[in-house]
Amino acid sequence: MPPLTTIQHDALIEIFNISLGRAAAALGKLVKAEIIMRVPSYKFLSLTAAAEQLNGMAKHHICGVSQRFEGLFAADIILMFPEERSLEIVHMMLDNDSYSLSELSELEQEAMSEIGNIIINACVATIANIAGEHFSSTLPIFRRGSSMDILKAATSTSDEGVLFVYIDFNIMQHQITGYLAFMMSIQSVAGLVQTINRFLQPISQDSAVQ
């Protein structure tokens, strides 16, 4: 993956934080609670390296919600949480202690698909707005399994790289770390860089005027 300049790196973090701010507002209305999300960092990784990162962060399986997007660039985007954290989020969203673990598991797929749909689409909508482009998408798909199973199931080729994004997810005073994986080809990364540069255009123009 081509390295980004410092200003491009900062711009991509800002784009994600704008996206997650909108997603947090939408989720907050859904659960009637304050939700704060931000992106502290990201990495460009190979598929294998991304799976190893997830293996080191989850005790058991990973729960993921994926969608395919095509437009200025194509990407399979996956929102992921360690399985134990996924159930914790569902429990907090239901705000009801009477549900058993087995009942939570049954509700998990629906709840996580809704969370994934809101967060992923907020990211893509922000990127589309900046790029002035339209993106088409598939319906969200929920999966549970090993990190490699989740990542491989969401892409048609193992040659794609992964933009691995860390998310700090604060809901009802609980701090949870989630992950966004953008599975992209080299050509798609070029489209993402084009979006970043469009985001930076007003800043460059202001600097030129001064």
Whole-structure pTM value: 0.87
Per-residue pLDDT of the chain (210 residues; tens, 9 = 90+): 567 899 999 999 999 999 999 999 988 887 777 889 999 999 999 888 998 888 877 667 888 999 999 998 899 999 998 887 887 777 777 766 666 656 666 777 888 888 899 999 999 999 999 989 899 999 999 998 888 889 888 876 656 789 999 999 888 777 888 899 999 888 889 999 999 999 998 765 555 445
Q: Nearest-CA neighbor of 20 among 194, 180, 206? A: 180
Amino acid identity of residue 114, one-letter, is E
Task: Give the orientation angle of helix 101-131 with respect to helix 6-31, to 10 degrees.
Answer: 130
Cβ-Cβ contacts under 8 Å for 61 (sequence gap 6 or more): 82, 83, 144, 145, 146
Cβ-Cβ contacts under 8 Å for 202 (sequence gap 6 or more): none
- What domains, with CATH codes, occur in the chain? 6-205 (3.40.1550.10)
* Contact between 79 and 178 (Cβ < 8 Å): yes
